Structure 1
């Protein structure tokens, strides 16, 4: 059985924006970190993202150069699954139950039976993922928020099969990473995405109703105290990712009208205008 002291290496699967951010958090906390992606280009982009984040901290005087060097030195880029041997695996891949479960089972075959598996899903059922994984009691959720290296909150999700030991260990690990963990039971959207969905959906409804335009809506909500307006935030998260979460919640709540996906965002996704990562979304970049 794993203990917090035994966890020295963490494998992060998926080198996209979230995966790279989580890898940075792990390495900054002192863990040997393996960042895995089958796509070599994505892996290099993920590493560049981490380096860029750290360099900004150095330039602002928030981090000495040596600390940046040490953090990067703890990150190993991997494009072979066999290299993902660790005491903890965190996945940040495509939002599909079958893909996440299959990845965990492939990794279970090459790792110790006590290796802990954590999904970073923002809307899928941790219980359903765990149900398809060998030794489901060691599967839980660690839902980080974008950008992971700056956002303090992490939802620690206990599925129906997640053991109390696994849940406690994941909570302790988040504390070790310098983040703020919140225990939540497995439910559609957990806490944050369930509540925040209406921040996006009502904003789109307001614009479509002609109450205000996109820029004005963002400015007003930022003036009201929100750090980012809903449209700027959707572009940062990625309209494809944000839209997929809405669709997932809409289906999970039996197509309740309050979770109906926004037509504005659906149109952007169809055109491939996903936000900052493609250079165009609700805004141009």
Structure 2
């Protein structure tokens, strides 16, 4: 994750305002995204970088240390090798060329401000903590071009809150680009527009999503956007069924898969997402979510609290509602 000073100098403000305070034309604002900087070398960040590079974008992947970047590169290579085997099943040389060509469009860096200096689009995919993201974008705004789209991959934090410490021109360039895991396979990207977002910036973001082979769904900056706003109550109600001893996790999952046609049951999905992530989101919404504060749909769950406290976080720890 990245953190940095949140207070901006007058020079930083001036840089962030470039392109909106100087009478720059709307035509330049609508130019296609070609250079993408992705901040965060985890699975989400490396997945976004991979997909952008696979669609011929020039990509820079940024993290705080070389070890994190090496892991990110390893994620990409492993994923691309799977794709290559499907595309060129009988030709190992073609498989190697396929991976090398895409990875050749990815540069890695630990120098944040240098990495965003020529970007058309900056996407952050760091830890889901508001202060961390706010401080990150304060730093990004110092060095990114005034025409660059500023985007967060957050799944639960308000985009407007993340951007609230920025100057007006910077806030107008801020959107949400919520990718889904695993990024190379999942087609949807939620494009989140704040009340202040410039319409041309949103259009450029939508065009970028389509250019990388994804399908955009545009929505307002509301808690959970579309998918998680509908999905979290579903998963939490499944947990409450378990707490009331209505049925076992396996039987609830089976019922939803075979009765409702879902590819995964709610407990399988909880384990895949991460129980700590779910707890963090629902607790935050219940405590201070816009229009959701105190909503019983997101009331704390004793069962979820117990599992998280015991370290059973799902697939990533090998134990959640199920053992893996």
Pick the TM interval, shorter chain.
Answer: over 0.9
Residue 264 (structure 2) pairs with residue 237 (structure 1): no
Superposition deviation, residue 262 in structure 1: 3.0
CA RMSD of aligned residues (A): 1.9
User: Alpha-carbon deviations, 1:168-198, whole Å to 9, x = none?
Assistant: 1111110111111011011111111111112
Please say if 1:124 is aligned against 2:157.
yes
228-237 vs 117-126, which deviates more?
228-237
Shift of 1:226: 0.8
Counterpart in the other structure of 2:194: 159
- Contact between 2:30 and 2:200, CA under 8 Å: does it hold in 1? no
Equivalent residue for 1:73? 104
In structure 1, C-alpha distance between the alignment counterparts of 2:278 and 2:85, rounded to whole Å: 31
Match of 1:111 among 135, 144, 150: 144
- Alignment check: 8 A CA contact 1:4 1:172 kept: no
Q: Could you list the runs of 5+ residues in structure 1 that have no partner in the other structure?
A: none
Structure exhibiting the larger radius of gyration computed from Cα positions: 2
SS of residue paired to 2:191: strand
Q: Which is worse superposed, 251-260 or 231-240? A: 231-240
Aligned positions, number? 284
Q: Which moved more, 1:24-33 or 1:35-44?
A: 35-44
Name the residue aligned to 2:293: 254
Between 1 and 2, higher relative CO (CA 8 Å, sep ≥ 6) is seen in 2
Q: Compared with structure 1, are the counterparts of its residues 75 and 242 closer, same or farther at alpha carbon in structure 2 (3 Å cutoff)?
A: farther
Structure 2: stretches of 5+ with no match in the other structure: 1-27
Q: What's 1:137 paired with? A: 172
The reply on whether 1:55 has 2:81 as its aligned counterpart is yes
- Rounded to whole Å, the distance in 1 between the matches of 2:56 and 2:302 is 44
TM-score, normalised to structure 2's length?
0.82
